[in-house]
Amino acid sequence: MGIEGSYRFVDHTADLGIVVRAGDIKGLFRNAALAVFDIIADSKGPGLEEKRMISVEGEDLEDLMINWLREILYLWNGEEYLVRDVAVVELSKEKLRAEVVVEAYEPKVHAIKTEIKAVTYHQTRVGPADGGWEAQVIFDT
């Protein structure tokens, strides 16, 4: 399942903002993670994939989204893995657990598009919208 059409960029001075949409809240967290890696690197390489379980907590949905994306971004910034797929297995207003499929970054295979340094709390929102769910997140680039 592709990420096409599930997020769009928003204007923001000096940083990068996105609005992510999905039919349900689990899909929203999945699409947000996939959007981050769609922004970071081009296409899937032929490398070996592995699965990781990731758990995060937050005080509310906005905090949970920020902590989730920070953990996802660490896979790139800290371990040089690209996220290829996400299956959210548990989600409440304060906790998320997901199985994440990652692939090791290969400089000869993966083209880097945009470097995301950090996920910010600035203008973050998560909530129901138009019969589905929507989140806005701003990244420091």
Res 2 pLDDT > 70: no
Beta bridge partners of 134: 21, 127
- Distance CA(126)–CA(61), nearest Å, equals 6
Instruction: Give me the domains of the chain, ranges plus CATH numbers.
Output: 7-140 (3.55.10.10)
- Predicted pLDDT at 1: 45
Q: pLDDT tens digit string along 37-69?
A: 999 998 666 778 899 999 999 999 999 999 999
Number of Cβ within a 10 Å radius of residue 120: 17
Of all residues in the chain, the percent with pLDDT exceeding 90 is 79
First to last CA, the chain: 27
Q: With beta carbons less than 8 A apart as the criterion, state whether 114 and 39 touch.
A: yes
Q: pLDDT tens digit string along 81-91?
A: 999 999 999 99
pTM: 0.90
